[in-house]
Amino acid sequence: MQTERKSSGTVGKALSVLDQVASFERPVRFNDILEESPFPKATLYRILQNLVTEGLLTFDREWQTYALGVRLVRLAHSAWTQSSLAPVARPHLTALSEATGETIHLAQLDGPHVLYLDKRDAKRRITMFSEAGKVGPAYCTGVGKAMLAFLPEDELQRILPQQSYHRFTPATICSQQELSSELEQIRQHGFALDREDHEPGIICVAVPVLSRTKQMMGSISITSTSARTSLGKLKKFVPDLQNAASEVATAAEYWRFPDNQRTPEKMEI
């Protein structure tokens, strides 16, 4: 589940160490990191020191452990507010959840993975930090497939081989070929289905959020259990979902340039 990025440059190396620390689920000692690090002792040591002085990591002198620093939380707050669909989508997700009584997800792509940015649970109406920020696979979730299907060809070709194609359930799509044809279907229908691909008993419908210029910005899904409902019934919500998605897209574009009605510059190529 570790994102593979070309970690060229000093910043990249630092980031890869940061990711590594993040991948442990609790504070770690120097040696724990060293053991699975590609960097030699001295180099790793210096990188860690840099990260600590930058506030991206904290070092607990008492236990001699490193952990992610809270500075990240502040940056993420800005990221969530300014760069994700989450703030503008918020009311629409709430409305959807109330209208359908089911769980709603908002997701965007982070490299090859799905990153959940918001969630609305019909019962407990609560969005938690601990929900936003979670990652999941793209090739076998409704939100993931909906996004992949509407990605520009070149980006798609870069991302497809990076999927793990792990079989979670008997229904999981486990090859790039199968996925490609599924994506073609999705493109034609305009929505994606999760037929218990990822978790047994969990089904969902998802639609992409597309900008006026057909750029894929994220996706929204309605999730339920096969015990409570069926794919057939879930499909009835597609118009609502599409409606919400297009409203989110409009709101997002309007919000980005509220005081400015100029059209975007012509794209090169």
Partner DNA sequence: ATTGTAGTTTCACTATTCGGAACCTAAGGG
Partner DNA sequence: CCCTTAGGTTCCGAATAGTGAAACTACAAT
Which one, 20 or 172, has the nearer CB to a copy of itself? Answer: 20
**Out of a copy of itself, DNA, none, which partner does residue 30 contact, by CB within 5 to 8 A per kind?**
DNA
Q: Is residue 40 a contact residue for DNA (CB under 7 A)?
A: yes
Minimum CB–partner distance for residue 83 and DNA (Å): 17
Q: Is residue 8 a contact residue for DNA (CB under 7 A)?
A: yes
Minimum CB–partner distance for residue 215 and DNA (Å): 17
Member of 24, 27, 34, 199 binding DNA (CB under 7 A)? 34
| Amino acid letter for position 50 | N
Q: Is residue 29 a contact residue for DNA (CB under 7 A)?
A: yes
Residue 261, CA distances (Å) to 78, 82, 84, 255, 257 in order: 24, 19, 21, 11, 7
Member of 1, 6, 42, 78 binding DNA (CB under 7 A)? 42
Q: Answer for the pair 241, 220: CB distance below 8 angstroms, yes or no.
A: yes
Angle between helices 9-23 and 41-54 (to 10 degrees): 90
Q: In angstroms, rounded to a whole number, what is the distance separating the alpha carbons of residues 97 and 229? A: 15
Using DSSP's 3-state secondary structure scheme, residue 71 falls into helix
**Out of DNA, a copy of itself, none, which partner does residue 41 contact, by CB within 5 to 8 A per kind?**
DNA
Q: Answer for the pair 52, 58: CB distance below 8 angstroms, yes or no.
A: yes
- Site residues for DNA, 44-103, by CB under 7 A, read 45-47, 50, 64
Which one, 163 or 172, has the nearer CB to a copy of itself? Answer: 163
**Out of a copy of itself, DNA, none, which partner does residue 168 contact, by CB within 5 to 8 A per kind?**
none
| HSE of 191, CA atoms in CB hemisphere, 13 A | 22
Neighbour-count burial of 199, counting CB atoms closer than 10 A to its CB (0-12 exposed, 13-18 middle, 19+ buried): middle
- The footprint of DNA (CB under 7 A) covers 8-11, 13, 29-31, 34, 39-43, 45-47, 50, 64, 265-266, 268
